[in-house]
Amino acid sequence: MRNKLYFSYHNEKIKQRAFEAIRDEQDHIGYYALPESDTTPLHRYAKQFDETIKTVVVIGIGGSSLGAKAIYEFLKPVCDLHRELLFFESTDPVNLTSQLKRISFDETHFLVISKSGTTVETFAIYKYIRSLHPDPSAYTFITDPGSPLEAYAKTIGSVVMHLPSNVGGRFSVLSNVGLLPLLLCGIDIDALLSGAKHIKESFFENGHIRPVLLTKAAYYAKNHMYYPINCIFAYAESLKYFCEWYVQLWGESLGKHQRHSAFHVGLTPIGLIGPKDQHSFLQLIMEGTRDKTVTFIKLERFDDTPAIPKASLPHLESLDILDGLPFGRLINMQCDSVREALLNEKDIPVDLITLPQADAFHIGSLIFYYELLTSLVGELIDVNTYDQPGVEAGKAILKRKLKDISL
């Protein structure tokens, strides 16, 4: 992947400080090591996996589902996958009932994923599904080593896998949390990890991505009060769930009390899909308050793209300029046109990420690029990138309410 910035930032000391902090935190933050994971145990597990299973269901929410979903939805249209992957994430009863209609228990395996092992949504759903389909061999559990969920799984005799306890949920997609469901569907997880490793090496070993990432992170951090909103504008429908993953990663990592001040800080992520959101959100970027940065993402090559037929339509001759154009070229011209329009405004910070094509290697690169960017910005705006204390208050209130009604 390539990343071209249309803005600059020249304080090299700030960049160097950020680089050193990230380099040094590798010894206790677990996600940096994931690209070098040994996938042999996963391949062994997948090889023995029941061939009659047609659907894999992830029961998990947030960091336990968004990453695998992002990659699965990106690759599904272009890969020949041999199993379907579904995600049961919500306590919404209407949604749960209609999701259940899509599966047949005989042909479904469930991956119950919860880092803490006590996520309310996940266990509300698991308890319900277990009551319909109690067979322990239909479930595999992924959790922190030593969690109550591990103890439970061992008691009922189901398989348990771990995610390293120093890998946070939103940084866990390249651990068993993401790799197991993706592998079971037939996705090339080794190519995925190679793509991540390529970005990791380029960053830590002074390749082309290091100066780009450091400049972008320093610019975002320095200007976080002026440009508090960071939009991704991705020109591929299949990147829709990548955007959702990005929203969690960015918002939950960077929206915090500062470590050494009394203040709340935060950068607000927004995921947009082109050209659709040209007809929705673009007006606000072009003419609204100048509080947004925009990162365009495009796919350089679309395989098998149909072309717009040559056919002049009476009264609609102004549209003849489209004739003969492959759709894959049109969508990239739309991306280029909007980018140029934004650049002409002069005060909207823009950059462009180009993925050569849709494959596991390049989505792995994109994932790791965004993880590194998040870590760098978090370091520079002085927050703890890896915790999420703000979600506890609502959980405590819910627990109290639940106790009150069960009395």
Binding to its own copies, residues 351-380 (CB under 8 A): 358
Instruction: By CB under 8 A, name the one of 141, 281, 296, 369 that touches its own copies.
Output: 281
> Which helix H or strand E contains 253, and what residues bound it?
helix 240-254
Q: How far apart are CA 288 and CA 251, in angstroms?
A: 22
Nearer to its own copies, 211 or 275 (CB): 275
**Annotation says 12 is catalytic:** no
Stretches 159-167, 177-185, 190-198, 247-255: which one binds its own copies (CB under 8 A)?
247-255
**According to the binding rule CB under 8 A, does residue 291 interact with its own copies?**
yes
Residues 6+ apart with CB under 8 A from 111: 56, 57, 58, 59, 60, 139, 140, 141, 142, 180, 181
Instruction: By CB under 8 A, name the one of 10, 28, 127, 346 that touches its own copies.
Output: 127
**According to the binding rule CB under 8 A, does residue 403 interact with its own copies?**
yes
Of residues 172 through 201, those in contact with its own copies by CB under 8 A are none
Of residues 75 through 94, those in contact with its own copies by CB under 8 A are 77-78, 89-94
The active-site residue, picked from 279, 315, 346, 403, is 279
The active-site residue, picked from 89, 121, 244, 252, is 252
Half-sphere exposure of 204 (CA within 13 A, CB side): 15
Cβ atoms of 327 and 302 within 8 Å: the answer is yes
**Annotation says 20 is catalytic:** no
Of residues 323 through 352, those in contact with its own copies by CB under 8 A are 323-328, 330-331, 333-334, 336-338, 340-341, 344
Nearer to its own copies, 53 or 307 (CB): 307
Of residues 17 through 46, those in contact with its own copies by CB under 8 A are none
Cβ atoms of 113 and 143 within 8 Å: the answer is yes
The active-site residue, picked from 4, 82, 154, 395, is 395
Nearer to its own copies, 127 or 260 (CB): 127
